[in-house]
Amino acid sequence: MAGDAFDALFEAVRVSPDNVPLRRHLADSLLAANRAGEAEHEYRAALKLAPDDDGCAVGLADAFFRQGRHQEGLAVLESRPPAAASPEARLLAARLHLATGAVADARACYLEAVAASPTLADADLADRLGMRAGAAVAGGPTLERDPDLDLDDDLDIDLAVDIELVRSDVTFADVGGMEAVKDEVRIKILDPVQRPELFSAFGKKAGGGILMYGPPGCGKTHLAKATAGELGGPFIAVGLHEILDMWIGQSERKLHDVFERARRNAPSVLFFDEVDALGASRADMHASGGRHLINQFLSELDGVEGDNESVLVLAATNAPWYVDSAFRRPGRFDQILFVPPPDQAARAAILRILCTGKPVEAVDYDHLAARTDGFSGADLEAVVDRAIEAKLRATMRSGGGVSPLTAKDLAAAARSVTPSTREWFATARNWATHANAGGTYDDVLAWLERRH
Ligand code: ADP
């Protein structure tokens, strides 16, 4: 539709704002012209006037889909009575499910759509769903699972959406401080993989589980990546909130798939961020039947589901108080390590690492470290970033050449960054003081004490 035709339509809607078919026509036209944001606005306005208009609801869901807002799109479709769902709505639901990684649901919706309206068959979508259009038979085309696809291919289709298996080029040399965690990682996986005969003589296997907790931005994820780099094995990172959101209804299988991937590619590092999402005490876990997922996780960790030899499971949380206590049993996350904010020496090391390879004048990192108490590694990264940005801005303004970063630049940037770890300690102090069963948070208390 040409621009002036749109102008005329907008004008018509302005004159008759309550005309639902007119608004719907404008919205459909906008959507067809890929102006999804504006289409969303018009569909919403039409639905306010006519909440039961299914066509507008599907349009709104489509507008969300085109803006990458898949959950919102699904929510719109799921809020309508299923009997009212048109074949087009089912097809859209299939695309939305696929985009969120729920492949089984996507397949079901696609089958329903094509069964009701064979002309909707879409070879490309069918391929992406691991289904191929079969020969046409009386009553319309049938769809079959591709016999060449075994379970593993199925798994790859599902996982390709959200779980990546990556090689890490970060090593321990890139991690400042964190000596206690590095030591634990060495003894659990790096040394046994290097000297299997020595470890097996003592009946020790490579692998196991370490749970790291502490304030955000202090290197838990960074260290997990570095572990994979040291190991030369793949790094598989899983955000648990993501699993819970995206994999509703099939989380257990997905979790199993993730572990299987790590086992097949051992020696490997399987990293679970936000492991507190699995806390049994969380209300949403009860609501979503999360107990099953916790049990699945435990039996994967215990090696009931497969041999975890040479798989190191690292987990991280900023909220250890929500982590299910069953995770603490021996053989699971038997090492639970507090990752404090970097001390002065570690801050100096981190600053040095962050400035490596950049034009920097001789800087007294120890001096700067002394002035950044309470800063996390991520805060220090922000300091260096800001100093660089300020330098670039000044250089662009003066039109001069590259001048190196100075201690003064870094100190000025440090003054502009607020250390982020204090808030965490305020919460942690409460838990450590009032809920320290079994001395779980003794390390936190000791750390707090040392600072006063
Ligand atoms: P966490 O997982 O504890 O929330 P991250 O590992 O994601 O924190 O840290 C955020 C960023 O801060 C990292 O990408 C890294 O650049 C930097 N950083 C944090 N801690 C360290 C450290 N000990 N050594 C080097 N860089 C660090």
Biggest alpha carbon–alpha carbon distance for the chain: 86
Q: What would the mean pLDDT of 286-298 be, rounded to a whole number? A: 72
Residue type, 87: P
Nearest CA to ligand 1 atom 1: 217
User: What spatial distance separates the first Cα and last Cα of the chain, rounded to whole Å?
Assistant: 70
Place of tokens 């090689």: 167
- Residue 447's nearest CA partner among 395, 435, 432, 22 is 432
Between β-strands 311-317 and 208-213, what pairing exists: parallel, antiparallel or unpaired?
A: parallel
Q: Mind listing the pLDDT tens digit for each residue in 21-48?
A: 889 999 999 998 889 999 999 999 999 9
Distance 219 CA to ligand 1 centre (A): 3
- Residue 21's nearest CA partner among 11, 32, 12 is 12
Distance 401 CA to ligand 1 centre (A): 32
Nearest CA to ligand 1 atom 11: 378
**3-state class percentages of the chain: helix first, strand second, coil last, to nearest 5:** 60, 10, 30
Work out the burial of residue 390: count CB atoms within 10 Å of its CB; fewer than 13 is exposed, 13-18 middle, 19 or more buried.
middle
Q: And the tokens for 357?
A: 């390879």
Q: Is the pLDDT of residue 148 over 50?
A: no
Q: Mind listing the pLDDT tens digit for each residue in 397-414?
A: 888 777 889 999 999 999
Q: Mind listing the pLDDT tens digit for each residue in 49-101?
A: 998 888 999 999 999 999 999 989 998 998 887 777 888 999 999 999 988 88
What secondary structure does DSSP assign to 280-318, as a single string?
Answer: TT-HHHHHTTHHHHHHHHHHHHTTSSS--TTEEEEEEES
Extended strands (E) in 163-222:
165-167, 208-213
Q: State the Cα–Cα distance between residues 278 and 93, nearest whole angstrom.
A: 28
pLDDT > 90 fraction of the chain, expressed in percent and rounded: 42
Distance 265 CA to ligand 1 centre (A): 26
Q: What is the pLDDT of residue 366?
A: 96
Q: What is the pLDDT of residue 242?
A: 66
Residue type, 428: A
Q: State the Cα–Cα distance between residues 175 and 179, nearest whole angstrom.
A: 9
Beta strands across the sheet bearing 268-273: 165-167, 234-239, 268-273, 311-317, 208-213, 335-338
Q: What is the pLDDT of residue 163?
A: 67
Q: What is the pLDDT of residue 339?
A: 95
Residue type, 285: M
Q: State the Cα–Cα distance between residues 258 and 240, nearest whole angstrom.
A: 12
Q: Is 355 in the pocket of ligand 1 (CB under 6 A)?
A: no
Q: Is 176 in the pocket of ligand 1 (CB under 6 A)?
A: yes
- Residue 367's nearest CA partner among 348, 383, 353, 349 is 348
Residue 144's pLDDT band (cuts 50, 70, 90)? very low
Q: Is 237 in the pocket of ligand 1 (CB under 6 A)?
A: no
Q: What is the pLDDT of residue 280?
A: 52
